[in-house]
A and B are shown apart, each in its own frame.
Chain A
Amino acid sequence: MGQQIVNGLFLGSIYALFALGYTLVFGVLDILNLAHQAVFMLCAYAALLLVGHLHLHMFLSFPLAVLAGGLLGLLVDRVAFRPLRGRSDSNISGLISSIALATILEAVALQLFGPDVERFPFGTVPTRTLRLGSAVVSELQIVIIAVAVGMMAALTLLVQRTRLGRRIRAVAESPRAARVLGVNVDGVIAASFFISSALGAAAGVLFGLAFNAISPDVGRAVELKGLAVIILGGMGSMPGAAVAGFALGLLEVFTVAQIGSSYRDAIAFGVLFLVLVVRPRGLLGQAATREA
């Protein structure tokens, strides 16, 4: 029981981190960035290259890969979203162009790294374990959960307490009003993409370290889970995404252990459906009055 909770929190922390990036861009732009999973995947590879080929320590590789993710986010914004901004149908066309970009990035990864599963070299991460009651927790799991929670807290502080955060919230409220008040809207959007993709990158690296199997299609499974998490949490709600991420991780683990792996996604998405029927705005979502 205790062990399954640890397993669920561990998986959930990665889902939450991934979904936070999704939800930040959604909250600001009202669009889904479906290239998020490609950033997740490419940055897992980036960390693999830094550790495996340049022999950098993980403590150095992790921030570098996260930085690379942020830069990749700027590229995603510049290529897939900015040219379409201002069009009346930019929500749908942006969604489609981000799918296109994800496909291209996946193909690039396939060319560069091949279809086979790649692994971090042995000894990249500590393998020591601790006992917590009946549960066994590895140092890696503790670090992953701590990094995820730390990044969530940092993001909340950034959005609530800083000048940039205030601008992001202003643009989310109304891009036009923000522009009138002298906010550099394109700059704020680019910054949101940078932060969002950096979080996706962090999730990718942590996922790679946790399960040690990286392939060009590794982002696809997480992509759907991420979508489920932001809907469950309430579209655009950051605390909601964090809570829903952990909830989904725990739900999956207990479904697998108690009912069977075949029912994992059925139950996860079944619960998602039920939540939407009972509470359409999601767990912590705001009622949709902002648009008015």
Chain B
Amino acid sequence: MRLARWQSLAIAAAMLGGATTARAAETVKIGAAFSLTGNAAVYGAQQKAGVLLAVEHLNKSGQLKGITLEAVVEDDATSKEQGIAVFQRFINRDKVSAIIGPTLSTTATAADPIAQQSRTPVVAVSNTAPKGITDIGEYIWRVSLTEAQVIPSALQIVRAKLGFKNAALLYGNDDVFTKAGFDVMKAALEKEGIPIVEIQTFATKDRDFNAQLTALKGKNPQFLMVSALAEQAAGIVTQARQLGWNVAIMGGNGFNSPAFIKNAGQAAEGVYVGTAWNKPSTDPVNQAFLAAAKAKGVDPDQFCAQAYTGVLVVAEAIKQAGMKGGRDDIKAGFAKVSGLPTPLGKFSFLPSRDGNHAAAIQWVKGGKFEVVQ
């Protein structure tokens, strides 16, 4: 009997379908959307390295008994549009079980709702806007501490050290992340009872901050808090020092990148930054991460450690779900992650699906971030 062409096609398709299902039980795909180009590109390269290091570590260790993780890394180009496109690709074409990223909170507010709609779990590893990320829905989880978690304790330590009596604020008012950082800084200063003598703003595309800095300097504050992305952070600090203003400066999460030190050079010295990652921590998981990164020639920053932790959290969720790597298995598994050893310390999720672990404070000394103990 001769099969009609459509019949043989159908059989072939059925066999192919069967083959993919069988393989899917062994390989779990994780989509990673990071800003490899654009304004936030300084973070994206570190995040990509973190994800790849974690996937290699987990596959080699055989912790996931038979399940192989596969990372698909794509560029969100620091834009909402591209972020949405990448998420759609991950969900519909690559059929990933979970998504890590995107890099900026602004991009996340646009792309995460798409994952929520199609019930695909997302782990935010660098979004730090306090509101509007995990609020999107029960499929959106977060590893990165919000600025609201890092900045108040950072401020307390710096204040105890310097004993300033008043402060001024400078922030970018057209970006979700820098605006959110500003809100937290303002609230933290008010809670500490430190008077705010002046507030100035700038736009993401600005290159010239002399007008704002001069206005701030004119009010003679003893301390300056700045909420900016790394690109502007270097310009702000450099121009402040060029104006002959040597005020103590503390930056938000945007300052937390070696790119800031590289671009600001000498001007970066002495700038304080709160951090989610205590890099010199002697915790064995952290030391193993540092060694693995060093072997690959990567000098990891906080963003690398957080991305690495994001993958560890996904793997832990698969374990908690009984070695199942489906989208809803992973989502259910997240809720059971508690006290997981990671480079960031013992990691748990709060009921709000936000991450929780210890924070630390660092400053720039000799061209490097050094944790202030």
Known contacts A115-B37, A122-B266, A261-B202, A138 near B242 by CB under 8 Å: yes
Judged by a CB distance under 8 angstroms, whether A104 is at the interface is: no
Contact between B210 and A261 (Cβ–Cβ < 8 Å)?
no
Closest chain B residue to A8 by CB distance? B211
Residues of A within 8 A of B284 (CB): none
Residues of B within 8 A of A207 (CB): 207
Contact between B208 and A11 (Cβ–Cβ < 8 Å)?
yes
Known contacts A115-B37, A117-B231, A261-B173, A7 near B214 by CB under 8 Å: yes
Contact between A261 and B243 (Cβ–Cβ < 8 Å)?
no
Judged by a CB distance under 8 angstroms, whether A4 is at the interface is: yes
Interface residues of B, count at CB 8 A: 31
Judged by a CB distance under 8 angstroms, whether A262 is at the interface is: yes
Contact between B211 and A7 (Cβ–Cβ < 8 Å)?
yes
0/1 per residue, B184-203, Cβ < 8 Å to A?
A: 00000000000000001111
Judged by a CB distance under 8 angstroms, whether A160 is at the interface is: no
CA distance A213 to B232 in the complex (A): 9
Contact between B173 and A257 (Cβ–Cβ < 8 Å)?
no
Known contacts A138-B242, A262-B203, A257 near B37 by CB under 8 Å: no
Judged by a CB distance under 8 angstroms, whether B263 is at the interface is: yes
Residues of B within 8 A of A252 (CB): 211
Contact of A261 (CB < 8 Å), options: B206, B217, B244: B206
Contact between A262 and B211 (Cβ–Cβ < 8 Å)?
no
Residues of B within 8 A of A117 (CB): 231
Report whether over half of chain B's contact residues are helix, strand or loop; otherwise say mixed: helix
Judged by a CB distance under 8 angstroms, whether A3 is at the interface is: yes
Contact of B214 (CB < 8 Å), options: A3, A210, A262: A3
0/1 per residue, A220-256, Cβ < 8 Å to B?
A: 0100000000000000000000000000000011101
Judged by a CB distance under 8 angstroms, whether B212 is at the interface is: yes
Contact between B244 and A257 (Cβ–Cβ < 8 Å)?
no
Judged by a CB distance under 8 angstroms, whether B152 is at the interface is: no
CA distance A220 to B115 in the complex (A): 35
How many whole Å from B70's CB to the nearest CB in chain A? 28
How many whole Å from A131's CB to the nearest CB in chain B? 8
How many whole Å from B241's CB to the nearest CB in chain A? 9
Known contacts A127-B242, A211-B235, A212-B238, A261 near B212 by CB under 8 Å: yes
CA distance A252 to B212 in the complex (A): 11
Judged by a CB distance under 8 angstroms, whether A83 is at the interface is: no
How many whole Å from B364's CB to the nearest CB in chain A? 15
Residues of A within 8 A of B163 (CB): none
Closest chain B residue to A258 by CB distance? B215
Residues from 138 to 194 in B contacting A, C-beta threshold 8 Å: 173-174
0/1 per residue, A1-22, Cβ < 8 Å to B?
A: 0011001101100000000000
CA distance A94 to B270 in the complex (A): 53
Closest chain B residue to A252 by CB distance? B211
Residues of B within 8 A of A210 (CB): 208
Residues from 171 to 226 in A contacting B, C-beta threshold 8 Å: 207, 210-213, 218, 221
Known contacts A211-B208, A213-B231, A213-B235, A4 near B202 by CB under 8 Å: no
Closest chain A residue to B235 by CB distance? A213
Contact of A253 (CB < 8 Å), options: B211, B239, B266: B211
Contact between A115 and B235 (Cβ–Cβ < 8 Å)?
no
Contact between A129 and B244 (Cβ–Cβ < 8 Å)?
yes
Contact between B37 and A262 (Cβ–Cβ < 8 Å)?
no
Most interface-central of A114, A212, A261 (chain B CB within 10 A): A261
Closest chain A residue to B78 by CB distance? A115
Contact between A213 and B38 (Cβ–Cβ < 8 Å)?
no
Closest chain A residue to B174 by CB distance? A262
Judged by a CB distance under 8 angstroms, whether B66 is at the interface is: no
CA distance A262 to B207 in the complex (A): 14
Residues of B within 8 A of A7 (CB): 208, 210-211, 214
Closest chain A residue to B230 by CB distance? A117
Closest chain B residue to A122 by CB distance? B265
Contact between A262 and B173 (Cβ–Cβ < 8 Å)?
yes
CA distance A254 to B203 in the complex (A): 16
Closest chain A residue to B242 by CB distance? A138
Which residues of B are in contact with A by a Cβ distance under 8 Å?
Answer: 37-38, 41-42, 173-174, 200-203, 205-208, 210-212, 214-215, 217-218, 231, 235, 238-239, 242-244, 263, 265-266
Which residues of A are in contact with B by a Cβ distance under 8 Å?
Answer: 3-4, 7-8, 10-11, 114-117, 119, 122, 127, 129, 131, 136, 138, 207, 210-213, 218, 221, 252-254, 256-258, 260-262
List, sorted by A's number, 9 A–B pairs whose CB atoms are closer than 8 Å: A3-B217, A7-B211, A115-B37, A218-B207, A253-B210, A254-B211, A256-B200, A262-B173, A262-B203
Across the A-B interface, the 3 shortest Cβ-Cβ residue pairs: A211-B207, A257-B215, A256-B211
